Amino acid sequence: MTESTVNSDPRTTAPSVTQLLAAPNWRTVDVISDLHLQPSEPQTVQAWRDYLARTTADAVLILGDLFEVWVGDDALDEPGSFEAACAEALHMAALQRPLFFMVGNRDFLAGSALMARTGMTALADPTVLVWPHGESQRRILLSHGDALCLDDVEYQQFRALSRSAAWQQQVLAQPLAVRRAIGKSARSESEQRKQSGTPYADADAAMATTWLDAAQAQWLVHGHTHMPADHALPGERWRIVTSDWHIDAHTRRGEVLRLTPQSWQRLPLDVA
């Protein structure tokens, strides 16, 4: 991976962009995000496990919010923990194909210990996937998407705070039990927001275009908004939004975004 630096003003230019060069043998790449894995939703967890075991993609990119909440990598060392079980599933999957992980707004405390335990490779946000395509190349900009949602002013303020090393060190210094309680409270607040019908903020169109310009990319792929759709942008470019996952007795929402250098398709979970 290589990194190029651009102007740091987030409203007028993109942040620094890291490049991921596709391996020569990659023909298809799967992108998933916003699974929000948690013990209280075992059917979603099982659908995820089934997908990891079944996918035929050459690589899998996870664009954040894989977990409903990640309270710190030391949760991996708690005997019988949900986090340890998920890490083992990821480790087994990573033995079959490359797995890449970008943190989201729910699992931004995921660190190097999780990467080491699972065999995943960490992705910076944003990263541009550079994929040879005939005599040229396809450049696909990847992001969790939360940094693009400028209308969510309160969240953007929290995001700036929570990504600071000092804030994270302060949080991680608290006992694991305390952090689990904080995570439980955050999940409760999130559920209350869902029940209230408060809409998610969408990505800012001008900012998305600016990011694409800075990365010289043709497609922007992101999650976070829970509003999967394909948005045409000027210059024959696209903003492609991944689906969240929620599988229970009444809902089977979720899909896999499968990329090739030529196109993309949305696959239902029982096909991907």
10-50 residue pLDDT tens: 556 668 889 999 999 999 999 999 999 999 999 999 999 99
Query: Mean pLDDT throughout 142-165?
Result: 94
Tens-digit pLDDT profile for residues 45-96: 999 999 999 999 999 999 999 999 999 999 999 999 999 999 999 999 999 9
Tens-digit pLDDT profile for residues 240-269: 999 999 998 788 899 999 999 999 999 998
For 232, the domain range is 17-202+218-264
pLDDT value for 190: 66
Please give the Cα distance from 60 to 52 (Å, whole number).
9
Instruction: State the chain's mean pLDDT as an integer.
Output: 91
CATH number at residue 71: 3.60.21
**Which residue reads 């759709």 in tokens?**
229
pLDDT at 116 exceeding the cut of 70: yes
Residue 186 belongs to a domain: yes
Structural domain count of the chain: 1
Residue 209 belongs to a domain: no
Name the least confident of 118-132, 149-163, 216-230: 149-163
Residue 188 belongs to a domain: yes
Residue 241 belongs to a domain: yes
Residue 145 belongs to a domain: yes
Tens-digit pLDDT profile for residues 11-21: 566 688 899 99
Q: Is 221 helix (H, G, I), strand (E, B) or coil?
A: strand
Please give the Cα distance from 44 to 159 (Å, whole number).
27
pLDDT at 270 exceeding the cut of 90: no
Residue 7 belongs to a domain: no
Distance, first Cα to last Cα, the chain: 28
Q: Which residues lie below 8 Å from residue 73, measured CB to CB, with a gap of 6+?
A: 109, 110, 111, 112, 113, 114, 117
Query: Mean pLDDT throughout 156-175?
Result: 94
Query: Mean pLDDT throughout 119-142?
Result: 94
Q: Computed from CA positions of residues 73, 78, 83, 84, in that sequence, does the dihedral angle turn out positive or negative?
A: positive
Q: In which band, very low, low, confident or very high, does the pLDDT at 197 lie, cut at 50, 70 and 90?
A: low
Please list the residues that pair with 221 across neighbouring strands.
Answer: 142, 240
pLDDT value for 111: 96
Question: Which of 98, 100, 96 minimizes the C-alpha distance to 66?
Answer: 100
Tens-digit pLDDT profile for residues 199-246: 778 999 999 999 999 999 999 999 999 999 999 999 999 999 999 999
Q: What is the largest CA-CA distance in the chain?
A: 55
Query: Mean pLDDT throughout 105-122?
Result: 97
pLDDT at 5 exceeding the cut of 90: no
pTM to 2 decimal places: 0.91
Residue 13 Cα to chain centre, angstroms: 21
pLDDT at 6 exceeding the cut of 60: no
